[in-house]
Structure 1
Amino acid sequence: MSATMNKATVEQVETPPTERDPALVDVEYGWHGNNRVTLLENGEEYFPRVFEALRRAENEVLIETFILFEDKVGNELRDVLVDAAHRGVRVTLSLDGFGCGELTPDFLASLSDAGVHLQMFDPAPLHLGFRTNWFRRLHRKVVVIDGVIAFIGGINFSADHLGDFGPEAKQDYSVEIKGPAVVDIHHFALIQSGRPARAKYWWQRRRSRRSDLAFSDHDGQVRLVYRDNHEHQTDIEEVYLQVLRSAKRRVVIANAYFFPGYRLLREIRNAARRGVDVRLILQGQPDMMIAKLAARMLYDYLLKAGVMIHEYCERPLHGKVALVDEDWSTVGSSNLDPLSLSLNLEANVLIRDREFNRELFQRLDHLSREHCTVMPANHAPRGLLWRMTIGFMVFHFLRHFPAWAGWLPAHKPRLKPFSPPTAVRSESHEPL
């Protein structure tokens, strides 16, 4: 470790499957009823709820995040976690080596010196000024507090999720969950943090019984679904395929980085051909222009089938949410692109709840009607052989390139001590 880190302990997580108990890694979680799920839009709704819950933590805090910046949000998170650790709360903070690779040693040391257990997923030094750990990112955004309240979605701990950040402020969503489903999310977060996962601690058993009574009149069904590089590589994609095949009335998908494989595209098209009202909300003002260009390669295929495509033009769209009919929704970290569907570690929650579905639909409907541009059916150029040929080649290259690159040994995460770089964070902001 760097000498400036003092007692800082930062280790890499997500060990190879041979080094961990497969029974703990390859878990499939089921549906749990009687949950209360609250939709949180953007940092204005998300950060106050998370920080308030963290300030009330009594026993344990587990956090996974792709990005943590040293800005007003990241500094507040650090202060809240340091205070919790000083109260005797066991705090585990897991960061991604790419998204958090330029945190300063002083920032990390202030957490570790307070007793926060820090972990870094796939850290890698800069080579000739460039990062090499581009693939297999810890892309999840999960917070679990005392095993009884959880937050999950697409919002990182950075000020660019707040409206006052300016034109580049992100539009995004997360959820707060209370109820029996938190037990599974807590179990999952424990496993991913490298700690042994017990069924429940004594305070969880007591509070879970109390929670069951408190939410007995609420029928919220919640299930955790995740993507890893072991036995659950396609779980999130398979869920999308299943609900698209069963859709009867409406489908709304709001996704920042939309470049799915043919199976998902076919089911979206087929749903529209069956007469389902299918609406996609995609980036019109992207933080990465290639995301918009890649998505537009697919427009012609979808528009001809009757899919409505809306481009959100107010600011960068960062959401990863969807709803089907009147009772199914999902919120999480997974984009519908090659990185999320093929390489990243992701986590979504599936929600069966009419009230939640109605609220999410109302917000997305307002977004699409008031702040989006509708793509006309003849938007995409067509008919020229060279366009079709180049489009086919680019589509399949972009679709498979991350997986090919992920085979390289440099991108295989390993468990080893990590020395953080001393470079000061630049002004650029990672988009995912």
Structure 2
Amino acid sequence: MKGGVEYFDLLHHLILTAEQSIHIQMYIFRDDDTGKMVLEWLSQAAAKGVHIYLLIDGFASHVSSDLMNRMEAAGVQLVRYAPLFKNGTLYFGRRLHHKLVVADGYRALVGSNNIDDDYYGRPQHPAWLDWALLVEGPAAGELERICVQLWNKEAAANQQLRLPAQEMKNLEMGVSGISVRVRRNDWVRNRNEIWRSYFNLLSEARKEVYLVSSYFLPGRRLRRQMKLAARRGVKIKVITAGRSDVLIAKQAERYLYPWLLRNRIEVFEYRDSILHAKIGIRDGRWLTLGSFNINNISTYAGIELNLDVRNRSFVRQAQQELEQLIAAHCTPVSGDDYRHQKRFIRFIQQLSYNLIRLLLYVSTFYFRRAHFSKQ
């Protein structure tokens, strides 16, 4: 499903029909109208005896003391993942980039949707474009185990309630004839499952690939797989943001456009609002969707969560939706746009690209060093 009201209506239903527990793990949870609305739903669930566990990133989420007090009074247990000031020092490290909701260990929402007004939408400001998947059954149970694991790690540091430990697995789970696999990325902990999903998506493609990503800055190895796939005759379509909430990232993306076009990779910019979805589709039969952006922050410094889905009819339906999105809501990028581009604009794009690369290197240097010191 897409984001906006459609996503929040389903979130509302999951929360108010839960009977035992709700886990929410979010990169962004803001103290705005949307955040207060979700808090009211959680308060109603807690009043019925449902246990609420809200884990939010300590850097990106902004929750006032007043709202935290209201959460505590309502019975909503809140833990911040890696607060900005950690152990008396400023901490910019690994960020919890999940966008995950699990109800009763049986139903779960996984996608790119955060909780704030940008994702719900406002008058004159349409909701950002996101996608999410609703899963039921064993896959949701696996997602709950992930929630418990992360909750216990941070709860111990904050001297808050720990939950009974649950065995972690990495299984491929069939739900209603659809094969669903939970994929995680936490490079520091030697997990690069989502990156590997995208690598395999490109290396195994035979006919067509769709890549939808905000902040689209693939690293060298993924670019090489894109180039090789295009040489094999695979049709690759990349959908990026026409407008971005991070201007320097958008300029850096556009610096890569000539390379993409030279390698016969089609590029489309979504124009109706800010694109925030993260989806990969291969050959109309395999899909990955979740929090992972195709860039080195997600690869090396983010704690990410995706679902891989293998089912021909389901994936073809998703692919048709992307084709409709391209036809009705995107602007194709042409090589002519760049052959006649002013030098100053090209300079700004190159400068943005190099600054982003430097930022990525600096922000992940500690983790790369820590990782290799374990080898």
My pick for the range that moved more, 223-232 or 329-338, is 223-232
Structure number having the greater strand percentage:
2
Once the 2 structures are TM-superposed, how far is the Cα of residue 407 of structure 1 from its aligned partner?
4.8
**Cα distance in structure 1, aligned partners of 2:341 and 2:332:** 22
1:282 aligns with 2:240: yes
**Cα distance in structure 1, aligned partners of 2:346 and 2:113:** 37
**3-state DSSP of counterpart to 1:311:** strand
1:118 aligns with 2:86: no
Letter in 1 for 2:298: S
Pair 1:70–1:187, CA change in 2 (3 A): same
Letter in 1 for 2:129: Q
Task: Report the counterpart of residue 25 of structure 2 in structure 1.
Answer: 64
Task: Report the counterpart of residue 94 of structure 2 in structure 1.
Answer: 136
Letter in 1 for 2:135: I
Once the 2 structures are TM-superposed, how far is the Cα of residue 83 of structure 1 from its aligned partner?
1.9
Once the 2 structures are TM-superposed, how far is the Cα of residue 163 of structure 1 from its aligned partner?
4.1
Pair 1:168–1:338, CA change in 2 (3 A): farther
**Cα distance in structure 2, aligned partners of 1:169 and 1:384:** 33
Letter in 2 for 1:75: K
Task: Report the counterpart of residue 242 of structure 1 in structure 2.
Answer: 200
Task: Report the counterpart of residue 428 of structure 1 in structure 2.
Answer: none
Q: How many percent of aligned residue pairs carry the same amino acid?
A: 30
**Cα distance in structure 1, aligned partners of 2:343 and 2:248:** 23
Once the 2 structures are TM-superposed, how far is the Cα of residue 94 of structure 1 from its aligned partner?
0.3
**3-state DSSP of counterpart to 2:78:** strand
Once the 2 structures are TM-superposed, how far is the Cα of residue 395 of structure 1 from its aligned partner?
4.5
Once the 2 structures are TM-superposed, how far is the Cα of residue 408 of structure 1 from its aligned partner?
6.0
Question: Which of 166, 181, 191 in structure 2 is aligned with 1:198?
Answer: 166
Task: Report the counterpart of residue 330 of structure 1 in structure 2.
Answer: 288
Pair 1:352–1:315, CA change in 2 (3 A): same
Pair 1:384–1:105, CA change in 2 (3 A): closer
Question: Which of 36, 39, 53 in structure 1 is aligned with 2:14?
Answer: 53
Task: Report the counterpart of residue 267 of structure 2 in structure 1.
Answer: 309
**3-state DSSP of counterpart to 1:230:** helix
**3-state DSSP of counterpart to 1:272:** helix
Task: Report the counterpart of residue 259 of structure 1 in structure 2.
Answer: 217
Verify the 8 A CA contact 1:226 1:232 in the aligned structure 2: no
How many residues are paired up?
352
Letter in 2 for 1:149: R
Following TM superposition, where does structure 1 have runs of at least 4 consecutive aligned residues deviating by more than 4 angstroms?
A: 131-135, 381-397, 406-409
Once the 2 structures are TM-superposed, how far is the Cα of residue 390 of structure 1 from its aligned partner?
9.6
Once the 2 structures are TM-superposed, how far is the Cα of residue 394 of structure 1 from its aligned partner?
6.3
Letter in 2 for 1:93: L
**Cα distance in structure 2, aligned partners of 1:83 and 1:391:** 49
Task: Report the counterpart of residue 51 of structure 2 in structure 1.
Answer: 90
Pair 1:115–1:164, CA change in 2 (3 A): closer
Alignment RMSD, CA only? Answer: 3.0
1:397-416 mapped onto 2 (5 Å cutoff): 398-399=356-357, 401-407=359-365
Letter in 1 for 2:180: V
My pick for the range that moved more, 54-63 or 69-78, is 69-78
Residues 241-289 of structure 1 show CA distances to partners (whole Å, capped at 9, x for unaligned) of 1121110111011101101111111111221221111100001111221
Letter in 2 for 1:122: A
Question: Which of 98, 102, 105 in structure 1 is aligned with 2:65?
Answer: 105
**3-state DSSP of counterpart to 1:237:** helix
Question: Which of 96, 112, 129 in structure 2 is aligned with 1:154?
Answer: 112
Residues 64-101 of structure 1 show CA distances to partners (whole Å, capped at 9, x for unaligned) of 0111122332112111211222222221100111221x
1:162-181 mapped onto 2 (5 Å cutoff): 162-167=120-125, 169-181=127-139
Pair 1:94–1:380, CA change in 2 (3 A): same
Once the 2 structures are TM-superposed, how far is the Cα of residue 162 of structure 1 from its aligned partner?
3.0
**Cα distance in structure 2, aligned partners of 1:93 and 1:146:** 14
**Cα distance in structure 2, aligned partners of 1:231 and 1:83:** 37
**Cα distance in structure 1, aligned partners of 2:344 and 2:273:** 33
**Cα distance in structure 2, aligned partners of 1:135 and 1:161:** 25
Task: Report the counterpart of residue 73 of structure 1 in structure 2.
Answer: 34
Once the 2 structures are TM-superposed, how far is the Cα of residue 342 of structure 1 from its aligned partner?
1.6
**Cα distance in structure 2, aligned partners of 1:184 and 1:333:** 17
Residues 87-125 of structure 1 show CA distances to partners (whole Å, capped at 9, x for unaligned) of 22221100111221x311111111112222210012225
**Cα distance in structure 2, aligned partners of 1:369 and 1:245:** 27
**3-state DSSP of counterpart to 2:240:** strand
1:232 aligns with 2:190: yes
Once the 2 structures are TM-superposed, how far is the Cα of residue 174 of structure 1 from its aligned partner?
0.7
Pair 1:371–1:348, CA change in 2 (3 A): same
Letter in 2 for 1:143: V
Pair 1:383–1:71, CA change in 2 (3 A): closer
Verify the 8 A CA contact 2:301 2:363 in the aligned structure 1: no
Scaled by the length of structure 2, what TM-score is found? 0.85
* Structure 1 stretches lacking a partner, 5+ long: 1-39, 201-210, 413-432
**3-state DSSP of counterpart to 1:287:** coil
* Structure 2 stretches lacking a partner, 5+ long: 153-162, 371-375
Once the 2 structures are TM-superposed, how far is the Cα of residue 389 of structure 1 from its aligned partner?
10
Pair 1:294–1:344, CA change in 2 (3 A): same
Verify the 8 A CA contact 1:152 1:349 in the aligned structure 2: yes
**Cα distance in structure 1, aligned partners of 2:273 and 2:64:** 29
Verify the 8 A CA contact 1:260 1:336 in the aligned structure 2: yes
Residues 201-247 of structure 1 show CA distances to partners (whole Å, capped at 9, x for unaligned) of xxxxxxxxxx99xx6xx310111111124333432112111121110
Structure number having the greater helix percentage:
2
Letter in 2 for 1:197: A
> Taking CA–CA contacts closer than 8 Å with sequence separation of 6 or more, which of the two structures ends up with the larger relative contact order?
1
**Cα distance in structure 2, aligned partners of 1:386 and 1:75:** 45
**Cα distance in structure 2, aligned partners of 1:286 and 1:391:** 14
**3-state DSSP of counterpart to 1:192:** helix
Once the 2 structures are TM-superposed, how far is the Cα of residue 393 of structure 1 from its aligned partner?
8.0
